Amino acid sequence: MDATAVRERVAAFLAEHDPATTDPMEFLRARFDAGLAWVFFPPGLGGLGLPRDRQPLVDQLLRGTPDNDPGRIAIGLGMAAPTILAYGTEEQKQRFLRPLWTGEEVWCQLFSEPGAGSDLASLATRAVRDGDEWIVDGQKVWTSGAHLSRWGILVARTDPDVPKHRGITYFICDMHAPGVEVRPLRQITGEAEFNEVFLTGVRLSDDLRLGQIGDGWRVAQTTLMNERVAIGGGMPGGRRTMVGMIADTWRERPELRTHDLHQRLLRLWVNSEVMRLTGARLREQLAAGHPGPEGSGMKLLFAKLHQEASGFEVELLRDEGLLYDDWSFRRSDGVDFLGREAGYRYLRAKGNSIEGGTSEILRNIVAERVLGLPSEPRVDKDVPWKDLPR
Amino acid sequence: MSLLYSEIEDQLRAAVRDLLADKTSPGAADDGGLWKALARDIGVAGLLIPEELGGAGASAREAAVVLEELGRTVAPVPFLTSAVLATRALLAADAAEVGDLLERLAVGESTAALAVPFASSPYRPAGADVRVKESVISGRIAAVAGADVADVLLVPVEAGLAVVAADDPGVTVTPVTSLDTTRVVATVDLASADARIVATEPGALRDSLAFGAGLLASEQLGIAEWCLDSTVGYLRERTQFARPVGSFQALKHRLADLWLEIVGARAACRNAADQLASGWSQSARVAVAVAQAHCGAVAVHAAEECVQLHGGIGMTWEHPAHLYLKRAKADEIALGTPGDHRDALADLADLPAPA
């Protein structure tokens, strides 16, 4: 379908569903049914089976019409949906994708555990078969949006007698089921962006299983790969940056300037510019259909720069650097890097090298997958999960 | 504008790489044959010279690709000094006064050098200690790169450029023992040598040095890439403690960090070359300063890691790592240090120093 045909299709849709008079949710459902939600999805599932690069045109043509809230549905959109598409049954795709996209049903991710962070495959949440159901017990952590979610993508251990990667199964967790308890997790910034989720005797019907029993690690790879694409591709170009903001402070407040800070600011500015150019080059590669391995590096660069810059800013501000805007324990649904004070930026940036893969794990990935260096000798490869030291 | 390599640039790279693989190896001296082959067979000498003057009419983007490959082999050829720096200086001069010099440079018949200390930065071009009187020039310029193989010297003077034949009886070019053995610097002594003065645009010297600095970043990228590739290759082969040394996380993380620096260097280099290809602007000056501030240090870091991670063999004369270390360290000084370029950004990016 060429650009003209896409335009015609959008025009026909808008003629039938006037965004000014249609209920916003009805409009979104109709947009999904017209195949204009994510056009790279198959027909009947909100798409038209078009190449991914047709989506920006559709989004542009429908700008100003009722839209889903991309922040609220980020995990559903970026992680659950591609996994359901790849491994779901026809019934699962029909049941879950439409309300996921419209935002009627919010999704969260139940992967990390207190005992399984970087080594996710060592996870200990158990799922035991009971007739047509599974009984799930365990604890998950760093779950953003769990308190708002209808569903969660869950990995659990179904066979402790085989090596860790082989005994995992992937489920869709009903967040309203009895035994699901969500508690806010207070972080070093004072508020709670994330949750702990306690699963106690949670019964999940077997038709909430995604993929084969014991195949959960492979299914999870689809989720994690899409997470990296989302992180790498989501790096903003041209938007205001942290270093740009610090540079403005520098220009406006000459009384803060010292020679030492000046030298460091110039270094930060160069690093920020190099990162901007690296991102711009990466986006050009993606657009040309040649995603390079550079994507794996962007998150590393981003974390390092954010941490250096935010630490610099607190020091630059001196007296004000001793202050903090708000320690109160409350829920927050997002990261407001540029809207809050320097102390918050400094503390929140510490998470950039931990969340979504620590910088140490990412360096391993770069070394092994990009540079082809050999992996460390593995002591857990052929050992049944139940015999691993924990 | 694009930060990627075009198909033509890829083809040029392949041609240069094949020729270098065929005709030289790191550390081998050039008896003149290598430069002739590059200059004439592939035509790199005239890359930046317009077609009507017998050149290829290409831009900084293509020259940058050639420099990446020359950096990868630390090839001892005067591409940067003659085909980039001297050529760029002549292109800024009055065409009528330049005569057929650019035509001769374009076909590799002649090789030129801009007679300035190689450490001159675009922000503080060193005023050469020379005196000109009625087409006769005298003075001394130290640490000039490419002068040892040039037959024409371009000496910056107040009115523009003094074009001096290297075989003039008043000219003595003395190569000095240099840190970088693959690009030695020389002292140029002028004792009442004949000079032809050609007028240049104001600021031409500064712009030529900045143009050269922006492209030098691509040579630095090539150096860093070779150092990373050879180190990765070695660490995969080298076994200690009954495992490949490259499986130790302490070393893997160092190489991952180096790879990241190089990814950034490639983006900064492509940006500088792309900006220089579209003429002088504020953003071109920023692009040059950013590329130099980043890439000079990346090449040195890569070469230092290369020596260290090769262990004992990296410290030997026999292994080529030292050639890259010496080139990288000399390049860090050439055409402005990373610190000089960062300092320039105080003005260029409006980040003023304390009062």
| pLDDT tens per residue across span B112-126 | 999 999 999 999 876
**Structural domain boundaries enclosing A259:** 235-357
CA dist B266 and B264 (Å) reads 5
Q: Which of B2, B249, B259 sits opposite A370 (nearest CB)?
A: B259
CA distances from A173 to A38, A342, B194 (A): 24, 38, 88
pLDDT one-digit tens code per residue, A126-172 = 999 999 999 999 999 999 999 999 999 999 999 999 999 999 999 99
Cβ <8 Å between B354 and A263: no
The reply to whether A60 falls in a domain is yes
Clarify whether residues A264 and A169 are in a common domain.
no
Catalytic hit among A191, A196, A227, A308: A227
Clarify whether residues A243 and A351 are in a common domain.
yes
Dihedral of alpha carbons A53, A58, A63, A65, sign: negative
CA dist B287 and B295 (Å) reads 12
Cβ <8 Å between B294 and A270: yes
Angle at CA of residue A124, ends A118 and A129, nearest 5°: 140
Backbone angles phi, psi at A197, to 5 degrees: -125, 120
Residue A148 corresponds to which tokens in the numbers above? Answer: 């708002």
pLDDT one-digit tens code per residue, B147-203 = 999 999 999 998 899 999 999 999 999 999 999 999 999 999 999 999 999 999 888
Q: Which of B236, B256, B342 sits opposite A366 (nearest CB)?
A: B256
Whether residue A377 lies within 8 A of chain B, CB to CB, comes out as yes
Burial B60-94 (b: 16+ CB within 10 A, else e): bbbbbbbbbbbbbbbbbbbbbbbbbbbbbbbbbbe
- Structural contact between residues A30 and A66, judged by C-beta atoms closer than 8 angstroms: no
- Is A90 a catalytic site residue? no
Q: Report the CATH number that the domain containing residue A113 is assigned in CATH.
A: 2.40.110.10
Backbone angles phi, psi at B113, to 5 degrees: -140, 140
Cβ <8 Å between B4 and A297: no
C-alpha closest to that of A107 among A71, A171, A153? A153
CA dist B193 and B69 (Å) reads 37
Clarify whether residues A202 and A256 are in a common domain.
no
Contacts of B2 in chain A (CB under 8 A): 284
The reply to whether A102 falls in a domain is no
Local confidence band at A75 (pLDDT 50, 70, 90 cut-offs): very high
Q: Which of A265, A284, A360 sits opposite B4 (nearest CB)?
A: A284
Clarify whether residues A112 and A205 are in a common domain.
yes
pLDDT one-digit tens code per residue, A195-251 = 999 999 999 999 999 999 999 999 999 888 777 665 544 444 456 889 999 999 999
**Interface-testing mutation among A245, A273, A299, with chain B (most B C-beta atoms within 10 A):** A273
Backbone angles phi, psi at A242, to 5 degrees: -65, -40
The reply to whether A367 falls in a domain is no
Domain count, chain A: 3
Clarify whether residues A310 and A347 are in a common domain.
yes
Residue B282 corresponds to which tokens in the numbers above? Answer: 């504020």
Task: Write down the ipTM of this complex.
Answer: 0.96
Residue B249 corresponds to which tokens in the numbers above? Answer: 């996380």
According to DSSP, the residues that pair with A197 across neighbouring strands are A140, A182
Clarify whether residues A13 and A127 are in a common domain.
no
Over its C-alpha atoms, chain A yields an Rg (Å, rounded) of: 23
Clarify whether residues A216 and A241 are in a common domain.
no
Task: Write out residues 237-266 of A within 8 Å (CB-CB) of B.
Answer: 247, 250-251, 254, 257-259, 262-263, 265-266
Contacts of B264 in chain A (CB under 8 A): 274-275, 277-278, 301
C-alpha closest to that of A228 among A92, A89, A362? A362
Backbone angles phi, psi at A305, to 5 degrees: -65, -45
Cβ <8 Å between B235 and A267: no
- Structural contact between residues A46 and A35, judged by C-beta atoms closer than 8 angstroms: yes
The reply to whether A383 falls in a domain is no
Which residues, in sequence order, are CB contacts of B269 under 8 Å at separation 6+?
Answer: B64, B68, B217, B218, B220, B221, B291, B295
Q: Which of B2, B259, B345 sits opposite A270 (nearest CB)?
A: B345
The chain B residue lying nearest A247, using CA atoms, is B351
What domains can you pick out in chain B, each with its CATH number?
204-348 (1.20.140.10)
Cβ <8 Å between B260 and A366: yes
The reply to whether A93 falls in a domain is no
Contacts of A267 in chain B (CB under 8 A): 342
- Token pair 């020039």: residue: B137
Residue B114 corresponds to which tokens in the numbers above? Answer: 């801009």
- Structural contact between residues A233 and B332, judged by C-beta atoms closer than 8 angstroms: no
Out of A201, A223, A245, a domain closes at A223
β strands within chain A, DSSP E: 107-110, 126-130, 133-141, 151-157, 168-174, 180-185, 194-205, 209-210
Q: What is the pLDDT of residue B127?
A: 63
The chain A residue lying nearest B255, using CA atoms, is A367
pLDDT reading at A322 higher than 80? yes
CA dist A100 and A80 (Å) reads 9
C-alpha closest to that of B225 among B179, B273, B265? B265
Local confidence band at B262 (pLDDT 50, 70, 90 cut-offs): very high
Clarify whether residues A214 and A316 are in a common domain.
no
Task: Write out residues 232-251 of B within 8 Å (CB-CB) of A.
Answer: 232, 235-236, 243-244, 246-249, 251
Out of A182, A202, A223, a domain closes at A223
Clarify whether residues A132 and A194 are in a common domain.
yes
Clarify whether residues A209 and A316 are in a common domain.
no
Helix (H) or strand (E) holding A287: helix A259-287
Contacts of A258 in chain B (CB under 8 A): 354
- pTM for this entry: 0.91
Q: Report the CATH number that the domain containing residue A344 is assigned in CATH.
A: 1.20.140
Clarify whether residues A212 and A261 are in a common domain.
no
Q: What is the DSSP letter of A122?
A: G
The reply to whether A125 falls in a domain is yes
The SS3 call for residue A332 is: coil
Clarify whether residues A206 and A151 are in a common domain.
yes
The reply to whether A250 falls in a domain is yes
The reply to whether A274 falls in a domain is yes
